[in-house]
Chains A and B, each alone.
Chain A
Amino acid sequence: EVQLLESGGNLVQPGGSLRLSCAASGFTFSNYAMNWVRQAPGKGLEWVSGVSESGDTTYYADSVKGRFTISRDNSKNTLYLQMNSLRAEDTALYYCAKRGGPARGWLDPWGQGTLVIVSS
């Protein structure tokens, strides 16, 4: 069974940093691009960042570019999101999700999410 398990969410002050992790199992992690998607309380889904299968190509939403860094360790089957200079508007539930495959731009499955709260 394909599983994604996020961790690392916490309460952090504005301007602070946090690193999220997503542990993958049940599939060949290195064969799939991975993504982070967030959902602010009571709001819709917002794509945050994506990384290629090898990790050498990364993409970011304009709202997080220059502050967030996505990476992956294929030897550990783990996806990361380093979040710096956090703002109140970054408060959200952060999901990791597996991309369907090359030229397959759907996300399936998703993890259960990890909550990030940015507040003083």
Chain B
Amino acid sequence: DIQMTQSPSSLSASVGDRVTITCQASQDISNYLNWYQQKPGKAPKLLIFDAFNLEVGVPARFSGSGSGTYFTFTISSLQPEDIATYYCQHYGNFLPLTFGGGTKVEIK
């Protein structure tokens, strides 16, 4: 199975900062990579699909890039409501789905 290594596991940044999270696949996964936001006590929410496509209604300060084995998720200007844990997730033609370990984002 493909492994997804997400880093860092946590970060602390100031409001307005640019925040970047990375996700590395153990083998080439093309652009089959999604990003989710999970706020405390809530279910995960899809933010970006297929590496760089922003889900409808998601603020433009969120973005994704990458292909192959290396992917990045960026918040261009961190806002207080962005406090959450973010997960990458890979999918292939068949299951299983594979999640990264998560990145907890806090305000400094």
- A residues lining the B interface (CB < 8 Å): 35, 37, 44-47, 50, 59, 61, 95, 100, 103-113
Contact = CB atoms under 8 A, between A and B. Distances in A.
A59 B97 CA distance: 10
Contacts, number: 68
B70 interface: no
Contact of B97 (A105, A111, A112): A105
A66 to B, nearest CB: 15
Contact of A106 (B89, B93, B94, B100): B89
A47 B95 contact: yes
A106 B44 contact: no
Interface in B7-59: 32, 34, 36, 38, 43-46, 49-50, 55
| Dominant secondary structure at the B interface | loop
B2 to A, nearest CB: 12
B95 A95 contact: no
Interface of B: 32, 34, 36, 38, 43-46, 49-50, 55, 85, 87, 89-102
From B38, B43, B102, name the one whose CB has the most chain A CB atoms within 10 angstroms: B43
Contacts of B55: 108
B31 to A, nearest CB: 11
B44 A45 contact: yes
A47 B94 contact: no
A105 B34 contact: yes
A82 B28 CA distance: 34
A111 B46 contact: no
B99 A45 contact: yes
A113 B49 contact: no
Contacts of A113: 43
Nearest to B42: A112
A102 B13 CA distance: 38
A59 B95 contact: yes
